[in-house]
Amino acid sequence: MARHQRLDVLAVVLIGFAAGCANESGGPDKPPKAGSKAEKIAKTESTVVRIQPGPNVQEETQTALIKAKPGQTIEFGEGTFDFTAGLSLAVENVTIRGKGMDKTILSFKKQNAGKEGLIVTRGKFLIEDLTMEDTKGDATKVNDAEDVTFRRIKTQWTGGSKETNGAYGVYPVQCKNVLIDECVAIGASDAGIYVGQSQNVVIRKCRAERNVAGIEIENCTDAEAYDNVATDNAGGLLVFDLPGLQAKNGKRVRVYDNHVFANNHENFAPKGNMVASVAPGTGMIVMATDQVEAFKNTIKDNQTYNFAIVSFFITGRPMDDKGYDPYPEGIYVHDNTFSGGGNKPSGDRGAMLAGLLGTPIPDIVYDGIVNPAKLENGKMPPNQGVYLKNNVSDKGSATFANLHWNTLDPKDPKGNKAKVTRDIKPYEGELPALPPVKLARK
């Protein structure tokens, strides 16, 4: 073939290749071809807003949150991002993402405005792979939203245990379909990981330490917490209902395969707060909520007590809520492993328990208060009682005490000790296993 003919053929090939590329990428006037690599790149670029550390990060981030569109991701790069005010998001179906909880740090140490680090008021929200630290108030609050995911988020206060620390780290409230997965919470003046007044909740593979309360499940229906670690908090894992809230009387809570140990940290909650009454050295509490199944947990070395089942009356607080049920009913505690604990009760409650029970405090403590209106021949209906089965300790079977709290007389310590019973046989039995919680988001 002649040289000029070869050049002509080459030119045709190049023109055809260029035309093909133009058809795929769209060129200056045409959109990318559907399904092409160029279209995927263009789509990614339009749905991901990337933010890097710098002096304008406050404005850049809040602008991105305001202008976000459903389906968009706001992605923080590696480094420390310094904020001076809280952030807010009110757009559905937005993802906030970092490069890893040890690589992307959102610091609010200089925050002088806003009650939270981040407040979210829309659903289909996902936040993952970053740390939020030293917020003025709560770290990340999601309010009244559906389909909420916290994944590999760390919240912490780095200045030590102070009542001025934010109350909550991970904080969804009045939400539905909540997943809290592989998160870490440190230093909250109330609860590191808290879910309140919510439905369909899963808390798994998280770690809570050096908070007043490690993990709290409050007034929730259909919730479960498993494979979590709660240690070095004042109280480890608390499942309870409180009066005066919009969502009342939680039920169907499964707590299993958790490791709750050495929760002996000082209680640094602000005075007057409900959680300020938690005695340092508290392992796990079930208070005033119904249908709780706690099983296969390892609970040890909590110096005041390892496990308690109590009514709201034990708090001594007023209860002006006619729709509120203050009694724990349908409680099934089985196949848990206890060791240590109860050797050094602390706080007013610890001193009271030591006076009644001596030390070590038994593994499981029950206040014994039931709803008298529900008694049938002196007993609770079968599905509403407290049942204990196959709980073991390092010394054999788990130990137990019923305080008969409602019969105690503050002026008769000796008589009160005589009223305490330690016979576990009346509570031996079982309830049907609660169903697992199913979430659309995994």
The pLDDT tens digits along the chain (442 residues) read 443 443 343 333 332 333 333 333 444 445 555 555 544 444 444 699 999 999 999 999 999 999 999 999 999 999 999 999 999 999 999 999 999 999 999 999 999 999 999 999 999 999 999 999 999 999 999 999 999 999 999 999 999 999 999 999 999 999 999 999 999 999 999 999 999 999 999 999 999 999 999 999 999 999 999 999 999 999 999 999 999 999 999 999 999 999 999 999 999 999 989 999 999 999 999 999 999 999 999 999 999 999 999 999 999 999 989 999 999 999 999 999 999 999 999 988 888 899 999 999 999 999 999 999 999 988 999 999 999 999 999 889 999 999 999 999 888 888 899 999 999 999 999 999 999 999 976 6
Q: What pLDDT is recorded for position 7?
A: 34
Q: What pLDDT is recorded for position 4?
A: 40
Q: What pLDDT is recorded for position 27?
A: 43
In angstroms, what CA-CA distances link 306 with 134, 264, 280?
31, 11, 11
* CB-based contact 429:384 (threshold 8 Å): no
Q: What pLDDT is recorded for position 46?
A: 63
Residue 410, classified by CB atoms within 10 Å of its CB into exposed (0-12), middle (13-18) or buried (19+), is exposed
Q: Read off the tokens for 143.
A: 């309010």
Chain-centroid distance, C-alpha 97: 19
Please tell me the distance from the alpha carbon of residue 338 to that of residue 431, in angstroms, as a whole number.
21
The single-letter DSSP state of residue 197 is S
Please tell me the distance from the alpha carbon of residue 182 to that of residue 108, in angstroms, as a whole number.
22
Number of residues that this document lists for the chain: 442
Q: Please report which helix (H) or strand (E) contains residue 85, including its range.
A: strand 85-89
In angstroms, what CA-CA distances link 36 with 28, 71, 195?
16, 20, 43
Is the pTM higher than 0.85?
yes
Q: What pLDDT is recorded for position 413?
A: 82
Cis peptide leading into 32, omega within 30 of 0? Answer: no
Backbone angles phi, psi at 315, to 5 degrees: -75, -25
Q: How is the beta sheet containing 364-366 ordered, strand by strand?
A: 85-89, 113-120, 138-143, 168-173, 191-196, 213-218, 235-240, 282-287, 305-310, 364-366, 400-402
**Closest by alpha carbon to 389, among 317, 256, 296, 279?**
296
Q: What pLDDT is recorded for position 275?
A: 95
What number of other Cβ atoms are within 10 A of residue 435's Cβ? 10
The residues that bridge with 76 in the sheet, in sequence order, are 51
What number of other Cβ atoms are within 10 A of residue 413's Cβ? 12
Q: Give residue 434's identity as a one-letter amino acid code.
A: L
109: left (phi over 0), alpha (psi -120 to 50) or beta: alpha
Q: Read off the tokens for 385.
A: 């009682």
Chain-centroid distance, C-alpha 358: 34
- In sequence order, what are the residues at sequence separation of 6 or more whose Cβ sits closer than 8 angstroms to the Cβ of residue 272? none
19: left (phi over 0), alpha (psi -120 to 50) or beta: alpha
What number of other Cβ atoms are within 10 A of residue 135's Cβ? 30
Using DSSP, state whether 39 is helix, strand or coil: helix
Q: What pLDDT is recorded for position 13?
A: 31
- In sequence order, what are the residues at sequence separation of 6 or more whose Cβ sits closer than 8 angstroms to the Cβ of residue 279? 234, 235, 267, 304, 305, 345, 346, 347, 348, 349, 350
